[in-house]
């Protein structure tokens, strides 16, 4: 299939052009993103509340989204993307509001520390610390944390499924589901899709190698299953949705991970969105497929957490 025409037009515009990543330091790239913010749709949601919770290296911001005034809402703990190096919870405000509304669940978005200032395992330990705190204290905010899931996109998908490993191996908290959008799972960047889609689709192979290089400072970390979940023992992980895109360098690693989960007896919903590129779920202002994907994942989470 061909690229979605609206995605193609975006990639052909100045906003879709990316200078060579080697030109940037992490802070320079963060500053550039501030100069070109994405459109804000600000979908209505019942309530939004900012919390401060303990992380592995200090206090963290967590933004809690409530789709209704109902008590005892299930909770989705969400980890944003950005290659472990860029982005924050403010940039994912729209996505989390859509996810709360489509799922009917509360969403808690975690502002974990970024690499290279906090390399692996710092961001992961922040995410796990926030997950534990929310599971233990969510009742104070009207949440039913016996119905708990993790979710994330790109690097956040990596952090979500790594948190699922930690929750399994450290005996809690109990998770019912993991929802992964085009997750970054393999620092080798050697799959067929990494090679065939290396340039021309906004996220490139060189960019992913740059991100991984800042996140994994110790060469041995490349084989750590908490950093590279494709190398993990996935037995006993919670059921999952793994969403991928046709024109995404990360496509093959996401689909290979879904296959590994299935082979280990984990229930998996796998979807490949045709004509789409990496990050499309954050682009409902550009393509209606983003809304469909958010609704799909929201329905999966609703089914897992409200049954």
The set of catalytic residues is 154, 248, 278
Q: How far is residue 108's CA from residue 148's CA, in Å, rounded to a whole number? A: 11
CA-to-CA distance for 68 and 45, rounded, in angstroms?
A: 7
**Cα separation of 71 and 12, whole Å?**
47
Q: Measured between alpha carbons, how far is 177 from 161 in angstroms, rounded to an integer? A: 10
- Whole-angstrom Cα distance, residue 246 to residue 234? 25
* Contact of 74 with 305, CB cutoff 8 Å: yes
Distance CA 277, CA 204 (A): 11
Distance CA 10, CA 248 (A): 15
């Amino acid at each position: 299939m061909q690229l979605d025409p609206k995605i193609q037009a975006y990639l052909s515009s100045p906003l879709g052009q990316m200078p060579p990543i080697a030109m940037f330091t992490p802070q320079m790239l963060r500053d550039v993103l501030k100069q070109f913010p994405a459109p804000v749709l600000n979908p209505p949601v019942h309530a939004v509340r900012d919390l401060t919770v303990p992380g592995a290296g200090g206090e963290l911001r967590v933004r809690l989204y409530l789709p209704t005034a109902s008590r005892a809402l299930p909770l989705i703990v969400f980890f944003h993307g950005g290659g472990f190096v860029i982005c924050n919870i403010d940039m994912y405000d729209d996505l989390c509001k859509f996810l709360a509304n489509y799922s009917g669940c509360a969403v808690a978005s975690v502002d974990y520390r970024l690499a290279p200032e906090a390399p692996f395992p710092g961001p992961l330990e922040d995410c796990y610390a926030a997950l534990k705190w929310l599971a233990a204290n969510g009742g104070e905010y009207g949440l039913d944390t016996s119905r708990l899931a993790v979710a994330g996109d790109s690097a956040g998908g990596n952090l979500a499924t790594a948190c699922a490993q930690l929750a399994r191996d450290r005996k809690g908290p109990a998770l019912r589901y993991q929802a992964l959008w085009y997750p970054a799972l393999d620092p080798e960047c050697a799959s067929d899709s990494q090679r065939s889609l290396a340039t021309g689709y906004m996220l490139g192979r060189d960019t992913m190698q740059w991100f991984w290089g800042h996140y994994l400072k110790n060469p041995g970390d490349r084989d750590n299953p908490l950093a590279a979940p494709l190398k993990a023992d996935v037995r006993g992980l919670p059921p999952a949705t793994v969403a991928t895109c046709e024109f995404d360098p990360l496509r093959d690693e996401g689909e290979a991970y879904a296959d590994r989960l299935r082979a280990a007896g984990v229930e998996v919903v796998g979807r490949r969105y045709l004509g789409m590129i990496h990050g499309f779920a954050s682009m409902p202002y550009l393509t209606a497929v983003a809304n469909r994907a958010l609704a799909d994942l929201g329905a999966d989470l609703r089914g897992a957490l409200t049954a």
